[in-house]
Homo-oligomer: A and B are copies of this chain.
Amino acid sequence: MITSPSNAAIKAIRSLKQRKERTARQVCFVEGIRLVGEAIQLGVTIEQLVVAPELLSSSFGHALVAQAASAGVPRLEVSGEVFVALSGKDGPQGLGAVVRQRWESPESLRLDDAPGWIALSSVADPGNLGTILRTADAVGASGVILLDESTDPYDPAAIRASMGALFAQRLVRTTFDAFAAWKRATGAYLLGTADSAGMDYQATTYPQPLVLLMGSERQGLPAEQQALCDLLVAIPMRGRSDSLNLAVASGVMLYELLRQRRG
């Protein structure tokens, strides 16, 4: 059992708080019984289970540990103190895992089922990204396309906000230029949102599946990206605000797509 927070294996896990490390190693650290359980259930590759026996009291947690052991997953046993040092949570549950990131190649991108995909142009806030993943999962979207400088879905704050949807949704990272080439080649329908759009988001019926393109928190969709869209719509605002939070706007759009599918 590891009892020192400065142990090399523990330092290697802590370093996963940095995006550079996560990207270089193509893994991330998830913690909590529910999240680790979701990762296992959804077939995510677990590189290492991290267990603090003195903190792990749930029987579901113990069952997960046994399941991972029988599948031959390497296990790191740590003291409660070491787990607290790894954890970003207030009441750590004593179970975490280093899991492999899953990315699909942009080439494999296809529009299969309604509503389709959501593409994010330079989303900056990991909490917003995680929340959008959660909503995308809730409406049955295929996954999230991260364009250009979008933040990392494997950021701890994104993982937390996604509530496990990160492992259920498909992820593609690409440049806007490559995405535009794909859109032109496949004829995929691209729906964008912009405050300045002339059309109300509920004034038309959308062809589904499609790609819903949402701009960044600060800038919205740049003109070049608006120009690629088959249609631009606006969500109405009745108060002083001239924009919604990105995750809320995405939620309103995704639930409008669901409403139209339900007829």
Contact = CB atoms under 8 A, between A and B. Distances in A.
Given A247-B248, A251-B252, A252-B255, A239 B131 contact: no
A237 B140 CA distance: 8
Interface string A235-249: 111111101110111
A193 interface: no
B134 A238 contact: no
Interface in A174-194: none
A227 interface: no
A237 B138 contact: yes
Contacts of A161: 245
A92 to B, nearest CB: 16
A98 interface: no
Q: For chain A, which range describes its interface: under 10, 10 to 19, 20 to 34, or 35 or more residues? A: 35 or more
Interface stretch (A52-60, A72-80, A162-170, A205-213): A162-170
A243 B134 CA distance: 9
B202 A241 contact: no
A256 to B, nearest CB: 8
Contacts of A141: 239
A199 interface: no
Interface in A215-263: 235-241, 243-245, 247-249, 251-252, 255, 258-259, 262
